[in-house]
Amino acid sequence: MARIVMKFGGTSVADIGRIRNVACHIKREVDAGHDVTVVVSAMAGTTNQLIAWTQEAAAVYDLREYDTVIASGEQITAGLLAIALQDIGINTRSWLGWQIPILTDNAHGSARITDIDGTTLIEGFKKGQVAVIAGFQGLAPDDRVATLGRGGSDTSAVAVAAAIKADRCDIYTDVDGVYTTDPRIEPKARRLSKVAFEEMLEMASLGAKVLQVRSVELAMVHKVRTFVRSSFAAPDAPGMEDSINPPGTLICDEEEIVEQQVVTGIAFAKDEAQISLRRLADKPGISAAIFDPLAEENINVDMIVQNISEHGAKTDMTFTVPSVDHDQAVKILEKNRKEIRYDVLQSESGLAKVSVIGIGMRSHAGVAATAFRALAEKGINIRAITTSEIKISILIDSAYTELAVRTLHAVYRLDKG
């Protein structure tokens, strides 16, 4: 018998039929004797609709009222799912964030969870009761409802799992796991059976949008074994009842991954823009003069490459920003030209960042060289390269994204497993 958190995303609870289907997944785990806590998202499209109404009501609004409105989507699903579960004989009740309580900070609209008291939920297990918790919401210090930012119910689920020391947090979604790359680009992409927290963080932040990034950070800190699996697979499909190895991807501590691959996946992000500042003075304070004003305007800078100058002469600095921020970033840099003192600013949108990810590269030489050779053979020009211990990111022209992803996927034999 295990203690399991089961989280269901918007498409998994999109209508009453799907909610009944979710109830069957839950019944399977309850019947197997597990202690189960459920966390739900709003029905697909609901949160978008609620946000649109808020914006229609007034151009500028109080974020506390925004939270009151958009937290309601999860309340609906929690109640409906509890009704569907009762209908098939499961002892259950719904819970809103404040009732548990799930406490957050005061950052309405994108609050962080500060504490969850797991006692009530653990008491519930003793009575054989399944708690259905509205995700995405909590109670702020101002005694008002707060929401956790888009996609935040993943974070609710992981936080609840940590609070009740669950054996596993199952994230049921419309895909059946995490793949070596996007299967729409490389049909030979393979589902990973295990991926380390660090790797998943890189994949999530790079646009493999399975989980909210914050939920992966939280899972890593609290070592919550998080399992991505499909709610669209039939509840009684072969293997679904397996409590050790059901179909899906386990995101876990690297120690749990026995057969480690050097490279685990290829991620990519389109719509990047490159900005180069030429002939800057090579002296203290220049980087701060460039990046402070960008940070003040909340522009997310990613790859940063500075050349080492010859004998303290002039240097060049290149970095990337999301394409949508390109124009604003250029404007800011032009405004600060006096302080930064660059000679020329050159910029270009329509670029892509392709990344090779794997914790195995910490202990293997030649991983980067393999990527560069493979891209060269396809005639793909590399504009910039940045690396971390577990990632190599390469900036290229967007038109070559698909080719680059497939090439790298093949060269590291990711289709072979």
Q: Which residues contact Mg ion (rule: CB under 5 A)?
A: 9, 151
Site string for ligand ASP, 172-211 (x = CB under 6 A): ----------------------------------------
Tokens describing residue 345:
């600013």
Q: Collect all residues with Cβ–Cβ distance below 8 Å to 338 and sequence separation of at least 6.
A: none
Sign of the alpha-carbon torsion through 317, 376, 389, 297: positive
CB of 31 vs ligand ASP, minimal distance in Å = 27
Residue 185's nearest CA partner among 404, 350, 414 is 404
When asked if residue 97 is in the footprint of ligand ASP (CB under 6 A), the reply is no
Judged by beta carbon, residue 77 or residue 315, the one nearer ligand ASP is 77
Q: What is the DSSP letter of 310?
A: S
The one of Mg ion, ligand ASP, none whose footprint includes residue 393, by CB under 5 to 8 A per kind, is: none
Which of the stretches 40-48, 112-120, 289-297, 393-401 binds ligand ASP when contact is defined by CB under 6 A?
A: 40-48
d(CA 221, CA 120) in angstroms, rounded, equals 23
When asked if residue 12 is in the footprint of ligand ASP (CB under 6 A), the reply is no
How is 39-66 classified by DSSP, letter by letter?
Answer: EE-PPTTHHHHHHHHHHHH-SS--HHHH
d(CA 43, CA 41) in angstroms, rounded, equals 6
When asked if residue 47 is in the footprint of ligand ASP (CB under 6 A), the reply is yes
Assess contact for 354 and 181: CB atoms under 8 A.
no
CB of 66 vs Mg ion, minimal distance in Å = 19
Tokens describing residue 174:
């419309």
CB of 248 vs ligand ASP, minimal distance in Å = 18
Contact pick of 66, 98, 136, 412 for ligand ASP (by CB under 6 A): 136
Assess contact for 278 and 346: CB atoms under 8 A.
yes
When asked if residue 134 is in the footprint of ligand ASP (CB under 6 A), the reply is no
Contact pick of 6, 8, 23, 73 for ligand ASP (by CB under 6 A): 73
Interface with ligand ASP (CB under 6 A): 9-10, 41-42, 47, 73, 135-136, 150-154
